[in-house]
Copies of this chain bind each other. A is one copy, B any other.
Amino acid sequence: MDQQATFEFDQATAISLRSEADRFDIDLSPGWTVGPKPNGGYLLAVAGRAAGEALGGAGSDHRDAVAATVHFLAAPDAGPAEVHTDVLRTGRSASQVRATIVQGERRFVEATFTMGSLSQGPTPPWWTDRPMVDLAPLEECIPIPASRPGAAFEVPIMDRCDLRLDPACMGFAAGRPAGIGELKGWICLADHRPIDALALLFLADSLPPASFDLVQTGWVPTLSMTVHVRAFPMRGWLRIRQAVQVMDHDRFDEVCEIWDGTGRLVAQATQLAGIRLPPDAEPPAHP
């Protein structure tokens, strides 16, 4: 048990090695769910922790997930599960590991990681054209609770992270989406755990779907997600933006970007999700 185990995130992603060298036990936490089902970013972080342990854990040269890809086969339940790992290659500057979350005999989550090492401390990129998202000041932004009156289900992960959405994108909560396909705000973990690569894997999938800013629908299951972790963030609040790029009647993609207080882009994610649009839904006009 390391020093971070007092933080909620580390308790919820704690894995233990079984007698077989490539299998880990995990108790998927009911506190990191959307409705009754574990959040996809949380599951990716669990898989990422196992991938790191399979390479030797904190002592490894390649302890940080720099590229993570995941396909969600089905949604596991909270409770006991296993993570099966397969070290695909150990290299000089990077190593690759596959991690599969299994419950009973069934595979639920298939993730693959390119593991490397991130330099400590925020450093500006050599070059970027991705401007930091423009946000209202923290004190004007709106905390998103785990339970909302009229909501179909609770979102317990909103008690695990502290998400404050910009008022400009809050229309969706009142049934009046802004129609620009974007949600943005400030975020940190609720118990102020420092943010590392594993926590970024979770945060990159912690926002409500940006599709909510275009159209009201039911549940939008993620099919596949990819996260690039680019740097360790400076401590403190992060800026986060999630935006739809292309929406069809059955699938849409959204990208998520996270910046730290220095303006450094620390994580980028893209996901493809399923959706079922109401038959009479009209796309919003571009502002």
Report if A110-B88 is in contact (Cβ < 8 Å); known contacts: A67-B223, A69-B69, A94-B223.
yes
Asked if A169 is at the interface of the complex by the 8 Å CB criterion, the answer is: no
In the assembled complex, which residues on chain B have CB atoms less than 8 Å from the CB atom of A226?
Answer: 69, 224, 226, 270
In the assembled complex, which residues on chain B have CB atoms less than 8 Å from the CB atom of A272?
Answer: 66-67, 114, 228
The stretch of A28-36, A125-133, A200-208 in contact with B is A125-133
- Classify the secondary structure of A's interface with B: strand
Docked-complex contact B245 and A129, CB < 8 angstroms: yes
The stretch of A6-14, A184-192, A247-255 in contact with B is A247-255
Asked if A268 is at the interface of the complex by the 8 Å CB criterion, the answer is: yes
| Residue-wise interface mask of A (72-114) relative to B, using a CB-CB cutoff of 8 A (1 in contact, 0 not) | 0110000000000000110101101010000000010010111
Report if A181-B127 is in contact (Cβ < 8 Å); known contacts: A114-B223, A114-B272, A223-B114.
yes
- Kindly report which residue of chain B lies nearest to residue A117, judged by CB atoms: B250
Other 11 A-B pairs with CB < 8 A, given A66-B272, A71-B113, A228-B270? A73-B91, A89-B107, A93-B250, A96-B110, A112-B112, A127-B214, A128-B246, A130-B246, A230-B251, A230-B253, A268-B270
> 22 A-B contacts, Cβ less than 8 Å apart?
A66-B272, A67-B223, A74-B91, A88-B107, A88-B110, A93-B274, A110-B112, A114-B272, A126-B283, A127-B246, A127-B284, A129-B181, A129-B245, A130-B245, A130-B246, A224-B226, A226-B226, A230-B246, A231-B248, A245-B265, A253-B268, A270-B270
